[in-house]
């Protein structure tokens, strides 16, 4: 797939990332436009995950915009394919986007420090690991974790979408049940075909690859998966392994619509916040 086609395929995701960070449709479009310009100027032939690269670029652009909140824009080097002029933005589309993100959430996010907002959105909403976010905000991984933690404590005061949370819990429970039963097809049905799973510094992509790998692991670690239970992990849907109350491992799930698009598995549980789900 050429970079233009890949950009178009990634555009909805990039717009969601930018809108959640900026709270403005026009500014979000500007951030995505800037990502397109930077893509044109960059050699990405060695980039394994172009969508991830673009997400990082958009995040850095949004961080700069949050810090400056200026209306000045660079002269365009080249128009992103299919970009909608600001004057032509459909107000109904903007309202739908705001409803999807959550107006109450946007109000709360607007009160956060820019770096806190970036760390929270990238990790808690889109499931990026802290070591990647650290490069965006210019801090250590642990300092980035603390940024997200402070943001999370403030966001907790926002209204919770109970229906969405119940739906996500149901899917987490079904994933756990499939893991215990080593039901590969049952897991695949819950996962996005291109799900990205991070564990131990490694990344595995693809629903079937992870489902088969997880099923094989479950066969050798049945007691471990028997101790797997749903939980809110750092404020996002997840699961924990805590035999006899001792937290050993956590899984964080990222959702896009009805399917799980990302899973982060870690044994580094020292600073993780766990809550009932």
- Domain identity same for 143 and 186: no
User: Residue 169 gets which letter from DSSP?
Assistant: H
Tokens of 56: 């990082």
Dihedral sign of CA atoms 92, 98, 102, 108 in order: negative
Please identify which residue in the block is written with the tokens 């044109």: 40
CATH number of the structural domain spanning residue 43: 1.20.140
Residue 199, judged by CB atoms within 10 A of its CB (0-12, 13-18, 19+), counts as: middle
Number of domains in the chain: 2
- Domain identity same for 54 and 180: no
CA gap 73, 76 in Å, rounded? 8
DSSP 62-75: HHHHHHH-----PP
| CA trace torsion 71, 75, 79, 84 (10° rounding) | 30
Tokens of 114: 């820019």
Residue 257, judged by CB atoms within 10 A of its CB (0-12, 13-18, 19+), counts as: exposed
- pLDDT (0 to 100) of residue 70: 39
Last residue of a domain, one of 105, 140, 155: 155
CA gap 232, 238 in Å, rounded? 5
**Percentage of the chain lying above the pLDDT 90 cut:** 19
- Domain identity same for 42 and 173: no
pLDDT band at 222 (very low <50, low <70, confident <90, very high): low
CA gap 125, 12 in Å, rounded? 15
CATH number of the structural domain spanning residue 269: 3.10.450.50
- Domain identity same for 15 and 104: yes
- Domain identity same for 262 and 125: no
- Domain identity same for 247 and 111: no
Whether residue 100 has pLDDT greater than 80: no
pLDDT tens digits along 108-150: 566 678 888 888 888 887 888 888 899 898 888 888 888 888 8
* C-alpha closest to that of 14 among 33, 37, 39: 33
């Amino acid at each position: 797939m050429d970079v233009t086609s890949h950009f178009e395929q990634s555009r909805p995701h990039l717009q969601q990332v930018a809108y959640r960070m900026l709270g403005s449709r026009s500014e979000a479009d500007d951030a995505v436009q800037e990502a397109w310009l930077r893509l044109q100027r960059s050699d990405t032939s060695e980039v394994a995950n172009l969508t991830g690269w673009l997400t990082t670029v958009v995040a850095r652009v949004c961080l700069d915009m949050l810090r400056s909140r200026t209306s000045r824009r660079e002269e365009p080097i080249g128009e992103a394919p299919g970009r909608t002029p600001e004057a032509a933005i459909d107000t109904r589309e903007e309202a739908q986007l705001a409803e999807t993100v959550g107006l109450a959430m946007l109000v709360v996010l607007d009160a956060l420090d820019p770096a806190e907002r970036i760390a929270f959105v990238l990790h808690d909403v889109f499931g990026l690991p802290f070591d990647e976010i650290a490069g965006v905000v210019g801090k250590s991984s642990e300092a980035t974790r603390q940024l997200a933690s402070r943001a999370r404590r403030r966001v907790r005061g926002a209204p919770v979408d109970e229906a969405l949370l119940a739906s996500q819990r149901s899917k987490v429970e079904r994933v756990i049940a499939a893991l215990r039963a080593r039901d590969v097809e049952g897991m695949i049905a819950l996962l996005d075909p291109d799900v990205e799973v991070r564990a131990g510094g490694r990344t595995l992509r693809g629903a079937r690859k992870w489902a088969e790998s997880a099923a094989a692991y479950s066969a050798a670690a049945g007691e471990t998966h028997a101790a797997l239970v749903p939980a809110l992990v750092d404020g996002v849907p997840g699961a924990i392994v805590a035999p006899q109350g001792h937290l050993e491992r956590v899984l964080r799930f990222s959702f896009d619509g009805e399917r799980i698009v990302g899973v982060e598995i870690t044994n580094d549980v020292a600073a993780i916040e766990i809550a009932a789900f």
